[in-house]
Structure 1
């Protein structure tokens, strides 16, 4: 009997741990008053994810971030969690009470006063979202404190860093840029480790700071490592003026970015033959990172915009590129690539008339990359055959 009871307890614990590891445990079927009472009893803030049923970023966060064990572990142990549709039932009143005007909105409520103490929003990475939760528990890092202090003239270095990090998390780019400029005017230098970290994580684009890094490339590499410096330079020159990028120092990823920009320029100029020649050369080049090429080629080859205006040759080239992506992208669980390829094949059928045959390239084996289209991950080895 005792043994059976022990087994039962172990099973319950295992199920409980499994449920907790699945992600954020949102309370369901409770009233606002019940949630407040629970939060008071547990001495926790209330976290509310205000969403709507038509909000794409809301669904993305629910599927890719809220469901992660690391996110669930932090939020389940720190907050009483509610997921509230801002357009249904009690959610309408609560959304109005807490000034919700965009979705998703993340509100952190003090149950003792029922006042909002921290607000965030937008699509965030798991790391950003955990930091958002941590900021809610630290009065000096809460959104309302940061906004009030900045408005009152606080320009201390540590404060401005917190202010920049918060505004970056909610995509307030103008606030980020202005505060970063104030940080440097106050005596901070781009070569300071804490300022470099702020720059890498929060400032994007072809800014004067990027040129400063390029002009002093050896110094920055010595301070922060060539890999980190090259990664920042490559990231910020993914798009931009080709001449300005070519004028920068040499770094890992520069040649690739310049080639992709030339391809984009050819497509924008409707010089499709030149674009196809360049893309084909990169696909055939064993020295090109094909996964990076695929990630950029997705946007060049997509056929969802003004497809009827495309000449046949470029249309079929794009279908071929979408096949290459669908066959060869390592993330086999990315449904987007398969949906794009399936849609492209449907467009091929619609584009054909009774006198046309199926294009030969669709039937023939691919020239480059994998020759078989399946969902098998690259890392999964074939099962040995029995002898």
Structure 2
């Protein structure tokens, strides 16, 4: 009875550890190495930094999953190191870590690198990574890729083999798309099951063939819903891939045919594909950017002004909560995604100023002046530099309020003299051009050194 109770206690203790996800060591590197030697296990090392978005995603969305804990707690001694603090600095240098997160699998016998991976990885793929490394370390022979290739070419295989083959190709860094397209043709006759949709979404890569791409666009909502339910990281990864694919197809049309020769009718299908995968708050954002390029090249002023109005009103004046969605963001709730960085930053002020200036050169209507001035004020709220204020004054000048622009530019110059602003000469040149009633006054921008500083 006592033995049974001990066994039950150990079982529940083990399950408790696994249920918590990966259990990381809270000890020195040397102690972790000593423990791994004693248990004859590899050391799994998560190399991160405090500012790394994907690192936080992996820590909160993947490492905490029970199935990940089951694999990694049983197969490895797990360690987290901050590459910018303590022992992490030397270890990151020793193992030549160049990006974050990086995952190292270290042989404790001589502290040599046994295997490695990086970036945000979907939970299922991260689990497969652990299993493959454990199998490799155990010395078990794996079926060669050449043997798998031969069986696939024979066409005599079932769905289980097809899935295993696709996963192996993915692990080897090879394109899965041709085989994934064949998988859909061979095994999905009518409606795909949730399990099949999950598998397809998890294993789609960029550069898809036209049939597979069309399938992904047509079934994106269903695939995305399944991914969101099972694994937010895989949903974010697929969103990024499909969106990039949709954008690249539009870019190809622009580059190959030239914007002037391409009409809206020809682009509407491509725009629809882009919007099919876009988050609701961002629908039409990229489409409007493409249309602005189209109307500008075709000198279609009426449509260009309409496009600017829509873009400014919908995407520049309001805060864009989804500005940086991608691999670093978890798209579980389409209406409330988690951005890594907000668009309301100093760098965005130049974007706002630029669009206000563009509109001021096209229209003299009061509604457009009001819209542009509101955008300039937002730019100044984000960045109160003389460069941004000067841009606002030129915008006012372009809308015909020359007296008001000259007054504000004079006031700005007075401020700049007090602060010994390095752009004082530029501002004075702008003022003189206003007084000379010049029709096209260029704005000055940050010097290269300051631009780099703002980007960081």
Write the distance in 1 (CA, Å) between the matches of 2:199 and 2:219.
Answer: 13
Write the distance in 1 (CA, Å) between the matches of 2:126 and 2:285.
Answer: 32
Q: Does structure 2 retain, via aligned residues, the 8 Å contact 1:263–1:279? A: no
Q: Deviations over 1:122-171 (max 9, x none)?
A: 33111111222223332367xxx79xx9xxxxxxxx5235xxxxxxxxxx
Q: Does structure 2 retain, via aligned residues, the 8 Å contact 1:267–1:275? A: no
Q: Deviations over 1:104-137 (max 9, x none)?
A: 3322334455444443333311111122222333
For residue 3 of structure 1, what is the aligned residue in structure 2? none
Matched, 1:106 2:107: no
For residue 149 of structure 2, what is the aligned residue in structure 1? 184
Q: Gaps spanning 5+ residues in structure 2: where?
A: 1-11, 221-241, 297-303, 323-330, 361-365, 376-456
Q: Does structure 2 retain, via aligned residues, the 8 Å contact 1:319–1:341? A: no
For residue 24 of structure 1, what is the aligned residue in structure 2? 22
SS at match of 1:34: helix
Write the distance in 2 (CA, Å) between the matches of 1:104 and 1:337.
Answer: 15
For residue 264 of structure 2, what is the aligned residue in structure 1? 274
CA-based RMSD: 5.9
In the TM superposition, 1:228-267 aligns within 5 A as 228=196, 245=210, 253=217
Distance 1:357 1:66, change over 3 A: same
For residue 51 of structure 1, what is the aligned residue in structure 2? 48
SS at match of 2:127: helix
Matched, 1:357 2:373: no
Q: Does structure 1 retain, via aligned residues, the 8 Å contact 2:21–2:67? A: yes
Larger Rg: 2
Query: Deviation of residue 48 (structure 1)?
Result: 1.1
SS at match of 1:47: strand
Write the distance in 2 (CA, Å) between the matches of 1:84 and 1:249.
Answer: 39
Query: Deviation of residue 59 (structure 1)?
Result: 4.2
SS at match of 1:71: helix
Q: Does structure 1 retain, via aligned residues, the 8 Å contact 2:36–2:77? A: yes
The structure richer in helix per residue is 2
Write the distance in 2 (CA, Å) between the matches of 1:312 and 1:275.
Answer: 19
For residue 436 of structure 2, what is the aligned residue in structure 1? none
Matched, 1:196 2:162: yes
Query: Deviation of residue 63 (structure 1)?
Result: 4.1
Matched, 1:123 2:120: yes
Write the distance in 2 (CA, Å) between the matches of 1:160 and 1:260.
Answer: 35
Q: Does structure 2 retain, via aligned residues, the 8 Å contact 1:45–1:78? A: yes
Write the distance in 1 (CA, Å) between the matches of 2:353 and 2:71.
Answer: 50
For residue 78 of structure 2, what is the aligned residue in structure 1? 81
* Of 337, 353, 357, the match for 1:334: 337
In the TM superposition, 1:132-211 aligns within 5 A as 132-139=129-136, 159-161=143-145, 183-185=148-150, 188-190=153-155, 192-193=157-158, 194-198=160-164, 200-201=166-167, 202=170, 204=175, 207=178
For residue 428 of structure 2, what is the aligned residue in structure 1? none
Number of residue pairs matched by the alignment: 295
Distance 1:351 1:68, change over 3 A: same
Write the distance in 1 (CA, Å) between the matches of 2:187 and 2:352.
Answer: 51
